[in-house]
Amino acid sequence: MISYGDDYYWVEQNNRFDQKKHIQRCTTCSSGKTCYMSLQERSVQNDKFSFTVYLCYLVYAPLYIAGPIISFNAFASQLDTPQKNYSSKQVACSVWKHLTPMDNFVVGYGVLNFMWLKFFLLWRYFRFWSLINGIEAPENMPKCLNNCYSLETFWKNWHASYNKWLVRYMYIPLGGAQRKLLNVWVVFTFVAIWHDLEWKLLSWSWLTCIFFIPEILIKSAANTFKVQGALGEFLFRELNAVAGAVTITCLMVANLVGFVIGPSGINWLISGFLRKEGLPIVGGMFIIFYIGTKLMFYISHSQKWRLKSRLLKVEDQQETLAGSESSADQGGDYSTDPSYWR
C-alpha cells in the first residue's frame, strides 16, 4: 500500500528520472536490457494505477508468499513488457555449468537413489492395497538399486512388473534372445515413448541400448569361456568387478541425460569430467563402484550359500525321515512279535 501510494504521488508530482543519464552509467541498460533501478524509478502511466493492477500487485503469488519485495512501479511496468522468460531447461543448464565434477557425481548417484526410494514406497503401498483386496501382483522392486552391478540385473529389478509385461508382449514375440541386439532398441524406444514423447527420454533409451550392447556381447563370450585354475578364477572375478564399475557409471550417465540435463548437456558432462580437476573424481568414482561391485558379489555368494545350505538341510531331514520309516517297515512291531520276548 505504501509503495502504491508513494509511486502514484510521485507521478502526480512529475517525478524526474533522467533515463539517458542512467543508461550511460548502467551496464545492464546500455546493453539493451532494463535494470531493476530503471523499472523502479521510471514512472508508469496513470491507467496502471487501477484497482485491478493494485490487487494483482498485492497478491502476486511468487512474491507474496516468500519472495523478494518489489516496488509497484517495477511490477506494473513489466505487465505489458515482461522481462526475458527463463525455461526450466535454461535454468537447469545454467546451474549445471557451475557444478564441479564432484557435484555432478553426487547429483547423478543421488538422482538414481532418490528415484528408487520414491518408486519403492509408492509401488509397495499400492501393491499392498491390491494384496489386501485379494489380487496378487508382482513386486516392483525385488532388489535394491545398490545391489545391481549389471544393466540386465538392474532392469529386471526396476519396475519388475513392467519388465515382465514387456518380456511377455514385446520381447518374446520379437524373437527373444535370438534377436536380443535388435530387440533392446525396440523395447527401450517403446519404454521412452510410454513415459512421454520427449527427446531427452529418447536419448536416455538409446544411450541405455548403446551401453547394453557391449554387456550382451561380453556376457555371451564369457558363457563360452571356461576358467581354469585359481589364478584364472581370480582374474575372471576381478574383470567382472571392473565391468560392474563401468556398468554402474554408464547407468548413472544415461539417467542424468534422461532425467536431469537432457541430450544438450552431454558435452558439458564429458568436458567437466575430462578436465584436470575432473579426472581424480573419475578415478575415485571408479574405485568406489569397483569396491561396491565386489561387495555385491559377496552378498550374492552369501545368499546362494545360505539357500544351498537350507536345501541340503531339508534333503538330509527328508532322507533321515525316509530311513526311519523304512526301518520301521522292515523291523515290524516288536511288542507283538513272540520271538522278541524269548
- Mean pLDDT computed over 121-142: 89
Percentage above 70 pLDDT, the chain = 75
State the residue range of the domain holding 249.
89-308
Q: What letter represents residue 211's amino acid? A: F
Q: Indicate if the pLDDT at residue 129 is higher than 80.
A: yes
Exposure string over 207-241, b if 16+ CB within 10 A, otherwise e: bbbebbeebeeeeeeeeeeeeeeeeeeeeeeeebb
Same domain membership, residue 176 and residue 226: yes
**Which pLDDT band, with edges at 50, 70 and 90, does 25 fall under?**
confident
Global confidence as pTM: 0.64
Same domain membership, residue 127 and residue 71: no
| Number of domains the chain contains | 2
Residue 10: per-residue pLDDT: 64
CA distance 17 to 38: 9
Q: Indicate if the pLDDT at residue 111 is higher than 70.
A: yes
Between 313 and 124, name the one with better pLDDT: 124
Same domain membership, residue 95 and residue 79: no
pLDDT tens digits, 166-181: 999 999 999 988 899 9
| DSSP result, 253-304 | HHHHIIIII-GGGHHHHHHHHHSTTTHHHHHHHHHHHHHHHHHHHHHHHHHH
Residues designated catalytic: 195
Are 300 and 240 a contacting pair, CB within 8 Å?
Answer: no
Same domain membership, residue 192 and residue 111: yes
Same domain membership, residue 125 and residue 37: no
pLDDT tens digits, 208-263: 999 999 999 988 888 887 777 888 888 888 998 999 999 988 888 888 888 777 77
- Mean pLDDT computed over 295-306: 87
In 17-149, which ranges are continuous DSSP H helix? 19-25, 27-30, 36-41, 51-59, 61-64, 72-80, 88-97, 101-132
Residue 313: per-residue pLDDT: 82
User: Is residue 268 in a domain?
Assistant: yes
Same domain membership, residue 150 and residue 40: no
Question: Coil, strand, or helix at residue 94?
Answer: helix
Q: From the CB of residue 51, how many other CB atoms can be counted at a distance below 10 Å?
A: 7
Same domain membership, residue 114 and residue 215: yes
Same domain membership, residue 118 and residue 248: yes
Q: Indicate if the pLDDT at residue 184 is higher than 90.
A: yes
Same domain membership, residue 45 and residue 148: no
User: Is residue 152 in a domain?
Assistant: yes
Between 256 and 269, name the one with better pLDDT: 256
**Which pLDDT band, with edges at 50, 70 and 90, does 192 fall under?**
very high
Between 268 and 299, name the one with better pLDDT: 299
Residue 11: per-residue pLDDT: 64
Residue 339: per-residue pLDDT: 46
Please give the backbone phi and psi of residue 198, each rounded to the nearest 5 degrees, phi first: -135, 150
Question: Which residue from 252, 265, 264 is spatially nearest to 114, judged by alpha carbons?
Answer: 252
Distance of CA 317 to the CA centre of its chain: 47
**Which pLDDT band, with edges at 50, 70 and 90, does 342 fall under?**
very low
Q: Indicate if the pLDDT at residue 338 is higher than 60.
A: no
- Among 22, 50, 85, the domain-final residue is 85
Q: Indicate if the pLDDT at residue 102 is higher than 70.
A: yes
User: Is residue 59 in a domain?
Assistant: yes
User: Is residue 302 in a domain?
Assistant: yes
**Which pLDDT band, with edges at 50, 70 and 90, does 336 fall under?**
very low
Q: Indicate if the pLDDT at residue 189 is higher than 90.
A: yes
Residue 183: per-residue pLDDT: 93
